[in-house]
Structure 1
Amino acid sequence: MSTWSIAGTLTPIPATEHTELVAEPVAKVLATLGEPVGLVEIDPELADTAQFCATYSSPLSASANCVVVAGKRAGQTRYAAALVLATTRADVNNVIRRRLDVRKASFAPMAEAVELTGMEYGGITPIGLPEEWPILVDKAVADSPELVIGSGLRKSKLLVTGAALAALPGAEVIEGLAR
């Protein structure tokens, strides 16, 4: 997609041509995606979804948030990334807990999420996550024609299609992942 209607007041550029604006693990994967990914540079202080949308006139309904969830089973920590629309919340205690096959699941601590992903907190994205992690994608995200997601850094955002996210290695589209 060459024109992104969700960019608001920002002018998108091709992400593959500006990998200096994304986290290193994200840069390594961008070229392998099957379709174009847009990139917008932003003020890092305005990276939180609500502030980003309000400042840059991007619709909240077109933003997706990626959260890192952890749970333990037999002394081993299991991780997953969950991708849900910003207008919803990930169902950590039921859907994600069952998918991870753990007794209790919760958001991974900030320092742990940052260390394991190689990304900045508030910019974590499903693109470039550790290969062994499942990427749980809410069906509403997968069905979205255009989405704004993190870039791994707070100073930019990626513009992608839900289909591109659903096609990521390790991605599983789940109906009812979000509430």
Structure 2
Amino acid sequence: MSAEGTLTWTSAHQHPELLAAPVAAAIDAVPSARVAEIDPGLADTAAFCEAYGSAPEHSANCVVVAGRRGGEVRRAAVLVLATDRADINNVVRRHLDVRKISFAPMDEAVELTGMEYGGITPVGLPEGWPVLIDEGVLAAGDVVIGSGLRASKLLVAAAELAAQPGAEVLDLAIG
């Protein structure tokens, strides 16, 4: 199984209609980005990988987390392979230097990112947000990530994600 699976991928730069507005505005920073249209009902990672023959070890999930320290809310995006779980309560919490941390509520994540829930991606996030990328994502090479919409996916070189402003590669995976 490969990252590409059975989908036909085309340049994301030529198809902004398949991207959420903030993703389309930021896509030039990811030269390798290719996009494929999918059934929005199959956007969740397990269903996507099964339906389109894409390898879970080349599929990365992006979640938004929020924690507080001294009345200040600190948000970040966390990117981990679909085959792993991110250590949110220990590694991410300590890295953000917050007392408590949790996944951002769905409506808040959608409003702040301008992306659809289930399609949130590290490309086009609000300025200043850290993007914490697990080492396994970088090691995977090409990875499938969200496009900001549930109706498509992006295929990108993980190294390009790691080179983005605010991106940090850490050992985030549990197990």
| Cα offset, 1:65, TM superposition | 0.2
Match of 2:51 in 1: 55
- The letter of the residue matching 2:7 is L
Q: Please tell me whether the aligned partners of residues 13 and 39 of structure 1 are also in contact (alpha carbons under 8 angstroms).
A: yes
**Whole-Å separation in 1 of the counterparts to 2:120 and 2:25:** 15
Instruction: Please list, as runs of the form range in 1=range in 2, the aligned pairs for 1:62-141 lying within 5 A after superposition.
Output: 62-141=58-137
Tell me, what secondary structure is at the counterpart of 1:147? strand
Deviant stretches of 4+, over 3 Å: none
1:147 aligns with 2:120: no
1:25 aligns with 2:19: no
In the comparison of the two structures, how many residue pairs are matched?
173
1:168 aligns with 2:161: no
Higher mean C-alpha deviation, range 78-87 or range 137-146:
137-146
Give a deviation string over 1:20-79, Cα, whole Å, max 9, x none.
11000000011133x321111000000000000000111111100000000011111110
User: TM-score, structure 2 length as denominator?
Assistant: 0.96
- The letter of the residue matching 1:121 is Y
**Whole-Å separation in 2 of the counterparts to 1:32 and 1:88:** 26
**Whole-Å separation in 1 of the counterparts to 2:6 and 2:159:** 24
Q: Percent identity?
A: 64
Q: Structure 2: where are the runs of 5+ without partners?
A: none
Tell me, what secondary structure is at the counterpart of 2:51? helix
Q: Given the alignment, which residue of 172, 175, 178 partners 2:173? A: 178
- The letter of the residue matching 1:178 is A
Match of 1:15 in 2: 12
Give a deviation string over 1:126-153, Cα, whole Å, max 9, x none.
0000111100000111122110000000
**Whole-Å separation in 2 of the counterparts to 1:32 and 1:149:** 15
**CA-atom RMSD in angstroms:** 0.8
User: TM-score, structure 1 length as denominator?
Assistant: 0.94
- Higher relative strand content: 2
